[in-house]
Amino acid sequence: MRVVQKFGGTSVGSLERIRSTASLIERSVRQGHETAVVVSAMSGETNRLLGMARELCEQPQARELDALVSTGEQVSAALLAIELHKRGIGAYSYTGMQAGFFTDSRHSRARIQRIECKGLLEHLERGEVPVLTGFQGVDERGNITTLGRGGSDTSAVALAIVLKADICDIYTDVDGVYTTDPRIVPTAQKIECISYEEMLELASQGAKVLQNRSVELAMRNTMPIHLRSSFEDVSGTLVTSEDETMERASITGVAYNRDEAKITIRGIPDHPGIASDVFGPIARTDINVDVIVQNVSEDGTTDITFTVPRGDFGPAMKTLKDVCKEMKARDVKGDDTVAKVSIIGVGMRSHSGVARQMFKTLAKEGVNIQMITTSEIKITVVIDEKHVELAVRALHSAFDLDAKN
Ligand code: ASP
Ligand code: MG
């Protein structure tokens, strides 16, 4: 088998952790697997480096920031290669530039364009282990670039794809994806197998385990990801394509996000173009609008309600007040104590009555639903923030996700 193993910051966070990570790699090599490795910087290192730059200068040049933070991954790759060598494994560290990770020139958010990894394949064929720095690449002019925070997940998946690996193992400090946040619901269970789409929906709801881009890339190339713990030797969560033949429960997980605020603009004289008049100015301030509900009343006016990230509430309200005046709407109201709760599952496609069951469950708990939005595999409600835990717990058990015993 050919595998790419990616180790996150906590898995290389100290010399002791580097030794146990080396043991995992050694085991894979001794089992006869062709093994390529991608590492993150030691935990906290990227932030430490960025902090130093910002102490010198409020807005350092993006090019230099990339040169700076890329060193974090170089340190962990070299240390890990040294430890593997000591164990008699032919290990070789490579920076993004050395490994031929060519990207565009957008510093701190570059996209991989191609990977020229001929030398890496030869290592694998000889039973050696290339240890690559994640998160970084080089543009056509030779400038060091980075792929955005959490980007080494994306480096690992991209490498797995070009090396035609059988699987991309992503080792982290959690042992998988759970049916919901175990801090809220102690009976939450580890999900053994989840589809790419569900994983993306869970992540967009705040379950940040993998960089979203890495999941999108894996989905486009059907590269299975095994998300697992480097601290515990148990199997984690397999992120893979949806298997049509598998008998699915209606719901795979319950997600929530407290980072929400709701804005309503009321009594807008209704005519074509108003939605664009409302959201145009918001988009220009770079604020992401999420759940949107529009309602036309009999008197010929419209109300539009939508949510924004809570951190953008202030600026969004300010913009909307100007918009309100200009459009001669009645008023603008805001509430930054709302939250989103979603149920997610590809099983929704084939089970009916899922929405009804969700609403009934919330009603029974006395939770008032303020907004509703649905997609093929997700139903989201906006509710008062103070009811989040109650709602998540009730839904988790109503959809039979609680661990038995
Ligand atoms: N070290 C980088 C970061 O902290 C990349 C990564 O860990 O994936 O964002
Ligand atoms: Mg990460």
Q: What is the pLDDT of residues 189-237, one digit of tens each?
A: 999 999 999 999 887 665 678 999 999 999 999 999 999 999 999 999 9
Query: ∠382-384-387 over CA atoms, to 5°?
Result: 105
With the most atoms of ligand 1 within 8 angstroms of its CB, the residue from 135, 153, 210 to mutate is: 135
pLDDT per position as a tens digit, 355-391: 999 999 999 999 999 999 999 999 999 999 999 999 9
Q: What is the mean pLDDT of residues 274-294?
A: 90
The reply to whether ligand 1 has any atom less than 6 angstroms from the CB of 13 is no
With the most atoms of ligand 1 within 8 angstroms of its CB, the residue from 42, 74, 149, 210 to mutate is: 149
Tell me which CATH homologous superfamily contains domain 2-173. Answer: Acetylglutamate kinase-like (3.40.1160.10)
The reply to whether ligand 1 has any atom less than 6 angstroms from the CB of 72 is yes
Q: Which pTM value belongs to this model? A: 0.89
Q: With 0-12 CB in 10 A as exposed, 13-18 as middle and 19+ as buried, what is 272?
A: exposed
The reply to whether ligand 1 has any atom less than 6 angstroms from the CB of 40 is yes
Across 38-47, 232-241, 283-292, 367-376, least confident range: 283-292
Question: How much is the pLDDT for 377?
Answer: 93
The reply to whether ligand 1 has any atom less than 6 angstroms from the CB of 136 is no
The reply to whether ligand 1 has any atom less than 6 angstroms from the CB of 151 is yes
With the most atoms of ligand 1 within 8 angstroms of its CB, the residue from 10, 37, 40, 45 to mutate is: 40
Residue nearest to atom 5 of ligand 1 (CA): 150
CA of 169 to the centre of ligand 1 (A): 17
Q: What is the mean pLDDT of residues 102-109?
A: 97
Ligand 1 atom showing the smallest separation from residue 151 Cα: 8
Residue boundaries of the structural domains of the chain? 2-173, 254-398
The highest-level CATH class for domain 254-398 is alpha beta
Ligand 1 atom showing the smallest separation from residue 41 Cα: 1
pLDDT per position as a tens digit, 306-349: 999 999 999 999 999 999 999 999 999 999 999 999 999 999 98
Q: In Å, how far from its chain's centre is CA 24? A: 25
Q: Which residue has the higher pLDDT, 367 or 296?
A: 367
* The 3-state secondary structure of the chain, one letter per residue: CEEEEEECHHHHCCHHHHHHHHHHHHHHHHCCCEEEEEECCCCCHHHHHHHHHHHHCCCCCHHHHHHHHHHHHHHHHHHHHHHHHHCCCCEEEECCCCCCEEECCCCCCCCEEEECCHHHHHHHHCCCEEEEECCEEECCCCCEEECCCCCHHHHHHHHHHHCCCCEEEEEECCCCCECCCCCCCCCCCECCEEEHHHHHHHHHCCCCCCCHHHHHHHHHCCCCEEEEECCCCCCCEEEECCCCCCCCCCCCEEEEEEEEEEEEEEEEECCCCHHHHHHHHHHHCCCCCCCEEEEECCCCEEEEEEEEEHHHHHHHHHHHHHHHHHHCCCEEEEEEEEEEEEEECHHHHCCCCHHHHHHHHHHHCCCCEEEEEEECCEEEEEEEHHHHHHHHHHHHHHCCCCCCC
CA of 106 to the centre of ligand 2 (A): 20
| Band of residue 285 on the pLDDT scale cut at 50, 70, 90 | confident
Question: From CA 207, how far away is CA 255, in angstroms rounded?
Answer: 7
